[in-house]
Structure 1
Amino acid sequence: MKKSENNNYLKFNRNLGTLQKEKVVIKDNLNIEIILKYLIPAALAFICYINGLNGDFVHDDIFAIKKNPDVHGKTELWNLLKNDFWGKSISSTTSHKSYRPLTVFTFRLNYILAGLDPFFYHVINVTLHVIVTTLFVYTCKNILGQRTRDAVLAGSLFAVHPIHTEAVSGIVGRADVLAATFFLLSFITFSKCTTSTNNKYGTLLYLSSLMCAAAAMLSKETGVTVLGVCIIYDSIRTLNSLRKEWTDKLFSNFLARLVLTIVFTVLLLSYRLWIMDGSLPTFTKADNPASYNDSISIRFYTYGFLLVLNLWMLVAPINLCYDWQHGSVPLVENVTDPRNLATFTVILLVVYLICVSLSNSIKKHNHLLLMALMLTAIPFLPASNLFFPVGFVLAERVLYIPSMGFCLLVSAGFFQLFDAMKCYRSYLTTFLMILLLMFSLKTWQQNKVWQSRKTLFKAGVEALTYNAKTHYNYGNYLKDGHEYEKARYHYLEALRLDNEYASAHNNLGTLLDDKTKAEAHFREAIRLQPSHQSAHINLGNLLFKRGLKNDGINYLYKAVEIEYRNPEALSSLGESLIEIGNFTQAEVYLQTAIEVSPDFFEAYTRYAYLLSKTNRHEESAIYYKKAYELDSSQSAALVNAAHEYKSMGFTTDAEVLLKRALTIRRDVNTLEQLAILYYTAGRTMEALAVYDDIEKLNENSTETLVRHAKVVANNGDFRKAEDMMQKALLNSPVSVEYLTTFAHLKSKLKKYEQAIEYLSKAVDLMIRSDEESDEDLDQLYVDRGNNYKDMKMFSKALLDYEAALRINPRHPTAHGNCGAIYHMNAVMQEPLGSIEKAKEHYTKALELNPDSEIIRGNIAKLGRLQYQRDTGVG
């Protein structure tokens, strides 16, 4: 080989090596570009929500997750297809008709894996948001044909937009995020099937698209709108292709997809109506005031302005709130309202964008702008009030899917400016970075709002001070925290803003000490909302406790009729039926309450009480223990179970339960139950030790002090018992029980005059007030007579015994003591002496108490006295 040829050969090899290296570099750059294209938006989507992962269950999470038997696995899996989002039968007239079985299924999986730890629910929500962001970037780049930089910007805007915090940080917002996931999967697979040259593969993709659309609808109702987006997308692409070159195959394939998609959409919507029994959800005027207004023009103006507000929240998400009902957006009542100008401006802008997008689509074959508008508008249609009224005024969560189209518009518009205004690129880039940063910070801040019920409801009041519902919800939070004064203030504020707020009337009534005013609020709640179940329950319970038992029970029956599967209504009715002695019917309702809500604590305790009343103590103890298993903070359930074991004579078991209860809450009542248990079991010293512990707590009530004094007295320490009773009488209103207890102590100490004084007060008190007591009036006379007798004041003693016998002619002690006084005075030949009367009383006493050897002995002595008198012997 010549030298020149050698040089050329070497040169060629060097060039080939350079080309190969360049290919490697290009390939590496492409890989990096692909990674960054998806990594940047996904990372932003994750980072922005890190501080929301430790949030608690808030607002709708409580009912949709914490109190939903479908989530806890207490119902059959099949029931998810029959029940609404809250675990109630969707065919029920009181159902909100929110049908999202796939979302509930994911909550159920969450519960199986992690119970009710909210952290893992948040993790799934954020993960889904990252997935949606990634799919959105893919859609922008690979389906809608955006450049990489445009797709990354659109995805980044979507990742950090604050309007998404309700959907992502609010756990029940998973419905929107999950629906968005299937929405994009459906759209992607549909677009792939339209370009596939393999018929089998294309058919598989098409069927997959339909299944994803169905899954989107089963995640949230608005998910079905993806089929509308697919139809428009397919129509645009097909018409564009047919304009270039007409082919029968292309047209027939398009027509087949169009017909099948429409048919499938109709089937999905028909199924949705069928599962609801053909009935739409019922809402109140406060939920959506414009829909309840008779004026078409007012509805038109207001609906138009609501569209403006939704768009404004996408453009400038400054003032965000979890709820926009109850007067948050005043009605637009006339054409001169300046808000109509905003509506008119937006309409002009939308018309302009539609014209531009159609022009681009027809002339430039650029469908991006048109698809961005469709992605914004079509998913929003179900929330627009155009086809049917919705149950809200504004809802940030419903903008989760429509915001994709908005982010597309912003991205496309920004880079058009960026390319056209080369001199200002640095300013535009700075503006873009500031916008992303501001959105990220706002999202971070909103995540803190969704951390707890307190932060959410407090932020709601601060954001919309004129919203009655934010005050109402904050009042509920304060009520649950026992801050009743503050709760009352917010309920009153809610009623000031909306005096027809039925639930505010009801909840305010529960906090009023004045039961007449409370009753008025409950009745007003029922007048405003005849199906208000809680108001019926509260009014029924109130009337029952006031003695109007029939009226109360009638309202409770009505509450059960409104919604039979409400455990509170069922158990309240059961409790009232127990009090009137209708145990059979009460048992039916309480068992039903447990059946429909196996984790409803009150149903178990009330059923256990019924079992105790019907002497089924063993079963009662079991249900009290089941109640404790549901809520281990409720030590009272263990105390009641211990009482049942004590009733059966199982003192050891009772003692174990009482001691366990004391490890939960060391309260006076539990300690005293343990003391009583010890005392009745003959363990007096242990009982006294427990009472000493109660005294150290300095929380013992008068009743506890009196019972302690009785135990001390029975142990022989009358002086100490006397001091304790003196303290009890000083610290509490006088009662028959306290007076008689103190009198007995005075008798033991031979302080008869003081004993008589206290017993006289007890007699007067009982006569004046008809007070019920363990000591009946006849016994009080006997006790006082005994003290007179011990003081040898026989005439007064005899008067008291005879007074007792006028009340109770069958009192054996009174007969026996009367006989003794007549007998003794007969022996002494005193004026009160009478052998005949003594014999009469002794005979009656022996008849009432045949086993009394004292009476028999006295009768024998009386016989000898009679014999002596008759014979003159001795």
Structure 2
Amino acid sequence: MKSSSVVTCLPFVNAKLLVKRSTEITSVDMNTSGATETNTILRKVPTPTPLGDSNNNNSNNKDLRLPNVTRRSITPDKRDSRRSRSSPFFRSEANSVGCQAWIDKRLPLIHSLLFLLCLSVYWNSLDGSFVFDDVTAIRDNRDLRPHVPWQNLFANDFWGTPMYKEHSHKSYRPLTVLTFRWNYALHGLNPMGYHLVNVILHGIVTLVFFNVARVLVLSSTVSLTAATLFALHPIHTEAVSGIVGRAELLSSFWYLMAFLSYTKAAGRSKRGQTYPVANGYSGNYFHSNNNNSFHHNYHSSSSSGTGSSGNTTTTTNNNNNSSNSSCAPKKPFPWSCQATSASWASFMWSLLFITIALLCKEQGITILAVCVIYELCITQRLLLSLPTSEFLTMRSVLKGGGGGAGGKFSPQTKASCQRICALVLTGLVLMVMRLKIMVQLPNFYTYDNPAATASAPTKQFTFGYLTALNAWLLLNPSHLCCDWTMGTVPLVTSLTDPRHLSTITLVLTLAGLIHRILKRDRCQKELPVVLALTVIPFLPASNLLFPVGFVVAERVLYLPSMGFSLLVAIGWHKCHKRLSTLRDSNGRKIFTLLWRLGLVFCLVSHAAKVWLRNLDWKDEYALFSSGLKVTDRNAKLFSNVGHALEKQERFGEALQYFHQAVMVQPDDIGAHINVGRTLNHMKRFQEAEVAYTKAKNLLPQSRTGETYYARVAPNHLNVFLNLATLISRNDSRLEEADLLYRQAISMRADYTQAYINRGDILIKLNRTREAQAVYEKALSFERGNPDLLYNMGVVMLNQNKISQALNYFDLALKEDPDHRQALMNSAILIQETGIRQLRRVAIERLMKIVGPDGPDTKDVNERVLFNLAMLHMDDGDLPSAESFFQKAIQAQPDFRSALFNYALLLSETGRAAQSGPLLHQLIHYHPDHVKGLILLGDLYVNHAGDLHKAEECYRTILKLEPNHVQGRHNLCVVLLEQDPNRLESLVKAKECLESVRESAPNEDYILKHLGIVEAKVESLTESIRLSEHHSHFPEMP
């Protein structure tokens, strides 16, 4: 009978394995604690044969002895052999495996619970408003409006500013803005919809992260712990509760999807699946060991096969060289080990997802580096794999040798090289495209990131400390702040600064992790990738590669927190495992329970912190006030609290915060501008001018005979506009205001707001031609600026160019269909010109201001309502006219035109009695309203019969306008009606009407009434004459 041999698959034994003739040896399963288990008794081993010479049947081979480490691996450990299966160690491990199996069988339930957990802790953020950057990115961003071409999203930055402009922030995130646009299309500027999408996205990202963790660490318990930590981490409140944080959420989702697709392309997407390994064979590359829920069983690449599970025996026949092991492949190098078309399809999907992640936020491109590290450390086992006798490996090439006789790469190694090259090429292409779109680097200012402009070594010291500060926020997110700029983090200027200890601690921690990786930690092969997920996404925001426009931004830690959560989860489970192996049963139970309670306490406290932090993000006052609890060295926070109070018209309180900002940062131009603006609101104009002047003096001053360049923040130039607007209240200082606008334009040629305001000043100075030239110059910088187009219409209107004015109003509405002033004034212009074919257009434009749900009198100009009433009255739609008259009066109770015309409408429709209260209200607010007095006098004469009240109305008119024809005429009529049968009254009325006729000889109604009175006078005179005649000459019988 032919002899056979049994070879033990020993993990990572750096020695040649021996062939044992006529002997059966069970394989040894090693756990992380070094314990071994054997299932049969070892028999006496005859003369061993080296594995490399297994084809040689010579029995005189030399006896090769295994080193001590190998002998310990084969020989049963006495201490471990004494452990029974019922020991606490095995019970703990069994519980871990059982928990993992329970999770694996209920993944839909786990996914649902994780998603509901995210919804529950962020539910109170749904009723938040637009705060901080949300205002600029959403409320004031024209790219969200339906009338703006969607292509503009790919030409403008995140805030709606064209990328080519110098003052653009250069944040290119078109796909994120596209989702905002979808929100706007569904519900306009209702913040709840935006918040709801953010919360749902956070839940989805958490689920995908859980799946990524299962693929990476192959332990459902560790993955669930990491996902729960990630779902509840308070550092995410800015990314989830702040609407602009959607950039992080979307980028993270596609980031993880790209990683999952890449693992599938590299051959590792499902637990327990067959994957390629470095020596060309396939087998269970990773699996979950029964003795360790997150331990990977790696197999030596120098053995004749790789094991597929815990205890495996490989049998080698010396005669036919056949492999009968269950862990060996049926044939060497099966095609499943190579890059199939399906794997390349997954790889292409990963490249697409990477591009989408980049278009959501710039951090998304860092997944390229993570995929490269995954390829090297997981797929190719660059740090852990041993040399192969068949093919070259990446590790052997990098070490300058190794490899097999053929000196060729294995098929899967070739595929890995191809994938890495494709990743690098993709990264280069994406970065070149991104730089080309950006046109030029962004310009940031000292207050945004003070350390960026500091000198060495202060810059390096501070940037190092900021990295440690970000790590501390992940570890202890108790003091969170929405703004870390200006003086929030003082510069690290001295070697004796105690904050260096934080930097050193972080460096030592990272060094320890890297050292463990380089030592080829076989217990946690995924550690390099987990560390990469933590560090690499943070690098673009770390200031270590290039300066950025902020000191610390909590939302940029959303991606790095994934790797951090995995590190914490792995560490917690390792410590839990060690605690469960304590010999003292009481101590083991107590410490294990305390360790578990510690995790529960951490999760509950995180959830509570998230809930409370969401309340801070409800409105700007709460948000910025919470920041002042963290730091009182940030002038920007004081100013922002003041802005929030200013919006509530609490100017006195706002002024106190603005003054505090000036005290904290005396050279902050914006703080002085805020003081001046608030004083202006409080009608303290002289003090406001002083504050504006102080702010203006802080700007770089001109030097006689010298040309130099200085960078000025665009918002600081507002001091010229505010100061000019203030002094232009005095018509004698209009030229001075014009000079200020010209100074602003000289400092920034494309400062369109200065052009707009200067044009307004020139119109007031009746220099409309110059105003037109100014607006045309501004339009050369911003052709589609609706405000400029509207102002051009106003200029044309002042020049009595009606058709051109209407054309510019139409152009303004083409750029911004919601431009209220263009809508209102174009409609009024159409109404005044009497263009009947455009009357319907005028109504539609005014109705657009009112809105589909009816007007809100607090927001709609009463003139809009009045003009709608007049248009409907002209069209004969009297009920609609009445409705809009009522709403206009409700919006402004002293609206004279609305009161009079509504009263006139009622009078003309036979409801004169109802017009009385309106006329009394009109005369109460406007005693000199002549037409109202005329209508009220007519009401007294024709309906109330109160001639004395009517006489009072008409005499009041004659006091206001002695030559008012209608008033004099009506007074004559009243005098007549007081005693129409007396000749004296008729004579007075006749004389009154004759005097009126002299003032208006061509008024037919006066001539008509004079004729009537003359006839009555003549008739009454004749009657009197006849009566007197009869009295002197009585009729004879």
Q: TM-score range by the shorter chain?
A: 0.7 to 0.9
Q: 2:877 and 2:797 mapped to 1: Cα distance?
A: 27
In structure 2, the gaps of 5 or more residues are 1-97, 268-274, 276-336, 394-408, 581-587, 700-711, 746-752, 757-777, 974-987, 989-993, 1012-1037
The reply to whether residue 445 of structure 1 matches residue 612 of structure 2 is yes
**CA offset digits 1:324-376 (Å, max 9, x no partner):** 223222222333333233223322333233223332xx253733333222111
Kindly indicate whether the alpha-carbon contact (under 8 Å) linking 1:705 and 1:724 is maintained by their aligned counterparts in 2. Answer: no
**Which of these residues, 101, 120, 130, is aligned with residue 57 of structure 1?**
130
CA-to-partner distance for each residue in 1:745-764, whole Å, 9 max, x for gaps? Answer: 9x9699xxxxxxxxxxxxxx
Size of the aligned set, in residue pairs, is 735
1:821 aligns with none
CA drift of 1:412 comes to 1.8
Distance 1:81 1:132 in 2: 25
Instruction: Give the Cα separation in 2 of the matches to 1:292 and 1:691.
Output: 73
Which amino acid is the alignment partner of residue 534 of structure 2? T
Q: Which residue of 1 aligns with 2:500?
A: 340
Residue among 505, 517, 535 paired with 1:377 = 535
**Distance of 2:538 and 2:668 partners within structure 1:** 29
Which of 516, 520, 525 matches 1:356?
A: 516
3-state SS in 2 of match to 1:307: helix
Distance 2:534 2:791 in 1: 49
CA distance in 2: counterparts of 1:545 and 1:269, whole angstroms: 52
Q: Is the 8 A contact 1:674 1:690 kept in 2?
A: no
Q: Is the 8 A contact 2:158 2:173 kept in 1?
A: yes
* CA positional deviation for 1:383: 0.7
Q: 1 CA distance for matches of 2:911 and 2:895?
A: 11
What's 1:863 paired with?
none
Q: Quick one: which of 372, 375, 386 aligns to 1:243? A: 386
Deviation string 1:626-683 (CA, Å, 9 cap, x unpaired) is 3333893257546446448749982745873452353477144476434321555692
1:280 shift after superposition: 1.9
1:712 aligns with 2:936: yes
Quick one: distance in 2 between partners of 1:612 and 1:503? 44
Among 823, 847, 857, the alignment partner of 1:625 is: 847
Give the superposition deviation at 1:431.
Answer: 1.0
Distance in 2, matches of 1:88 and 1:219, equals 17
1: CA distance between counterparts of 2:654 and 2:963? Answer: 44
When structure 1 is superposed on structure 2, of 49-58 and 570-579 the one drifting more is: 570-579
Q: Identify the residue that residue 77 of structure 1 maps to in structure 2.
A: 150
Distance 1:227 1:340 in 2: 32
Counterpart of 2:730 (choices 532, 546, 563) is 546
Q: Does 1:368 align with 2:551?
A: no
Query: How do residues 37-436 of structure 1 correspond to structure 2 at under 5 angstroms?
Result: 38-143=111-216, 145-195=217-267, 197=337, 198-237=339-378, 238=380, 239-240=382-383, 243-245=386-388, 246-247=392-393, 248-249=409-410, 250-276=412-438, 278-293=439-454, 295-359=455-519, 362-364=520-522, 366-422=524-580, 423=588, 424-436=591-603
User: Post-superposition shift, 1:576?
Assistant: 7.2
Structure 2 distance, partners of 1:608, 1:534, is 32
Question: In 2, Cα distance between the equivalents of 1:571 and 1:536?
Answer: 23
Higher Rg: 2
Q: Distance in 1 between matches of 2:954 and 2:724?
A: 41
After superposition, the C-alpha distances for 1:131-165 in whole angstroms (9 at most, x for unaligned) are 2112222222212x253222111111101001111
Give the whole-Å Cα distance in 1 for the aligned partners of 2:950 and 2:718.
49
- 2-structure distance, mates of 1:55, 1:29: 39
Map 1:584-599; keep pairs closer than 5 Å. Answer: 590-599=809-818
In structure 1, the partner of 2:714 is 531
What do the CA deviations read for 1:362-397 (whole angstroms, capped 9, x no partner)? 253733333222111110111111232222221111
Shift of 1:226: 0.6
Q: CA deviation at 1:484?
A: 2.8
Q: CA deviation at 1:851?
A: 13
**Secondary structure of 1:133's match?**
helix
Pairwise mapping of residues 698-777 of structure 1 onto structure 2 (< 5 A)?
701-702=925-926, 709=933, 711-713=935-937, 715=939
Q: Report the CA distance between 1:185 and its aligned residue.
A: 0.9
The structure-2 alpha-carbon separation of the partners of 1:418 and 1:199, relative to structure 1 and needing over 3 Å to count, comes to same
Give the letter aligned to residue 212 of structure 1.
Answer: F
Greater RCO (Cα-Cα under 8 Å, separation 6 or more)? 2
Encode CA deviations 1:786-840: one digit per residue, 9 max, x unaligned: xxxx9xxxxxxxxxxxxxxxxxxxxx999979xxxxxxxxxxxxxxxxxxxxxxx
- Which residue type is aligned with residue 258 of structure 1? I
Letter in 2 for 1:217: L
- 8 Å Cα contact 1:705-1:725 kept in structure 2: no
Q: 1:446 Cα deviation (Å)?
A: 1.4
Structure in which a larger fraction of residues adopt helix: 1
User: Does 568-577 or 63-72 show the bigger shift?
Assistant: 568-577
Is the 2:873–2:881 Cα contact (8 Å) retained in structure 1? no
Sequence identity (%): 30
Structure 1 residue 275, shift from structure 2 partner: 1.6
TM-superposition CA deviations, 1:68-122 (whole Å, max 9, x none): 3433322233332222223332223332222112222222333344444433333
Partner of 1:677: 901
Relative distance call for 1:609 and 1:386 in structure 2 (3 A) is farther
Partner of 1:331: helix, strand, or coil? coil
Deviation at 1:504, TM superposition (A): 4.3
- Equivalent residue runs for 1:659-670 within 5 Å: 659-660=883-884, 662-663=886-887, 666-669=890-893
CA contact (8 A) 1:80 1:101 kept: yes
Moved more, 34-43 or 328-337: 34-43
Contact 1:688/1:712 (<8 A) preserved: no
Distance 1:407 1:27 in 2: 18
Superposition deviation, residue 211 in structure 1: 0.7
Q: Any conservation in 2 of the 1:217–1:223 contact (CA below 8 Å)?
A: yes
Alignment check: 8 A CA contact 1:125 1:168 kept: yes
- Alignment partners' CA distance in 2, 1:582 and 1:520: 41
Determine the C-alpha separation between the residues in 1 that align with 2:421 and 2:550. 34
Relative to 1, partners in 2 of residues 1:584 and 1:366: Cα closer, same or farther, differing over 3 Å? same
Is the contact between residue 934 and residue 953 of structure 2 (CA under 8 Å) also seen in structure 1?
no
TM-score (norm 1): 0.73
Please give the alpha-carbon distance, in whole angstroms, between the structure 2 residues aligned to 1:609 and 1:104: 36
The answer to whether the aligner puts 1:494 opposite 2:661 as a matched pair is yes
> Is the 8 Å Cα contact of residues 868 and 884 (structure 2) preserved in structure 1?
no
**TM-score by structure 2 length?**
0.62
Counterpart of 2:917, as a letter, is D
Tell me if structure 1 keeps the 8 A contact 2:900–2:919.
no
Q: Could you tell me how far apart the structure 2 residues matched to 1:688 and 1:457 are?
A: 57
Task: Give me the whole-angstrom Cα distance separating, in 1, the residues matched to 2:754 and 2:878.
Answer: 37
Which 10-residue stretch deviates more, 566-575 or 167-176?
566-575
The one-letter amino acid paired with 1:345 is: T
* 1:501 positional shift: 4.0
* In 1: Cα distance, 2:798 partner to 2:721 partner: 16
Change (3 A) 1:27 1:442: closer
2:636 matched to which residue of 1?
Answer: 469
The 1:415/1:613 distance shift into structure 2, 3 A limit, reads same
- Deviation of 1:544 after TM superposition, in Å, equals 5.0
Cα RMSD (Å): 4.5
| Structure 2 Cα separation of the partners of residues 522 and 616 of structure 1 | 47
Aligned partner of 1:604: which letter? L
Residue in 1 that maps onto 2:917 = 692
Check 1:737–1:699 CA distance in 2 against 1; reply closer, same or farther (3 A cut): closer
Give deviations 1:18-41, integer Å, cap 9, x for gaps. xxxxxxx99984653545654554
